[in-house]
Structure 1
């Protein structure tokens, strides 16, 4: 891959427990291969546990910084991996909510996969957006004021001054990654 996105900076945010491994690692590796500078921030910083299909512990990965020490102005895009444990924990994290609001208010790209849009609900930025997610999140999104929910591999929506990219599950990661790369060009 080329360094066509050299100079772009993308922030991945997670809790420290229960991250769906492929939803963190595969987009992160893809963006790095395109020359993007990536940072992984987690609720507490340090070691984060990954899972395979939400229940089977996998490897741990290190995040560079706690969410409290991050500012959206330092990045071009935000990626929110899913996994039910990660997303359910992250949606209650005040710093994660703050960051999601900052990215939206700054007109930046936000990409969320699987259960990741739960954070956007709690951050109060989902109204007016059409998106996809893991099917069980659909009603939550509709109740939070989403303009619509669609069952597709990837959905990009530009409304309310910022770009939202969403996907349903780990099977959608290749097209999710392609959409993020395209949005950063």
Structure 2
């Protein structure tokens, strides 16, 4: 039986310019583009992303398609937040990142976040009552914000009228990307 073909999606990947876990940015961008999706990568300041491996070893500098402010008024089917401790910690303090997250959820569209990225949902006021997963160290923060945390490779939640797709770490990238593709 042939695999059902899903419609191409417009996907916005939002990262800060430093501290993003390389595989959580590069692998989804490459795979989603291979699947035929239109993927746009932005940072708040438009600078390339300095990726890291294991949150400590610098790796490649990943090019972006512009700054986040230039994309705030565009509509995307999926908003994807890659992880990395430093990236996620800085993203949760950025007003434009929080604004685009709130806009995406408020419009009933999909948000995907991996590893430490669900931290950002807390600061955007979007974690409450959501079923999700994340890197284990973020669990207590999410639970304290009213989320229901699950130790699974990928968690999809439609609570509150918008879809949230979360995964724990780079080892979960295959099911994470598949869930985004099928959203």
Runs of 4+ in 1 over 3 A off after TM superposition: 4-7
Report the count of equivalent residues: 180
Structure 1 Cα separation of the partners of residues 73 and 79 of structure 2: 8
TM-score, with structure 2 as normaliser: 0.94
Runs of 5+ unmatched residues, structure 2: none
72 and 180 in structure 1: CA distance in 2 versus 1, 3 angstrom threshold: farther
The equivalent residue for 1:143 is: 144
1:172 counterpart SS class: helix
The equivalent residue for 2:102 is: 101
Residue 69 of structure 1: how far off its partner (Å): 1.6
> Is 1:51 aligned with 2:45?
no
The equivalent residue for 2:24 is: 23
Question: Does structure 2 retain, via aligned residues, the 8 Å contact 1:131–1:166?
Answer: yes
The equivalent residue for 1:65 is: 66
Question: Does structure 1 retain, via aligned residues, the 8 Å contact 2:6–2:182?
Answer: no
Structure 2 Cα separation of the partners of residues 150 and 100 of structure 1: 22
Q: Over aligned residue pairs, what C-alpha RMSD do you find?
A: 1.4
The equivalent residue for 2:174 is: 174
Question: Does structure 1 retain, via aligned residues, the 8 Å contact 2:12–2:39?
Answer: yes
The equivalent residue for 1:163 is: 163
Residue 6 of structure 1: how far off its partner (Å): 5.7
Cα deviations by residue, 1:14-50 (Å, 9 ceiling, x for unpaired): 0000110000011111110111000001021122100
Name the structure with the higher strand share.
Answer: 1
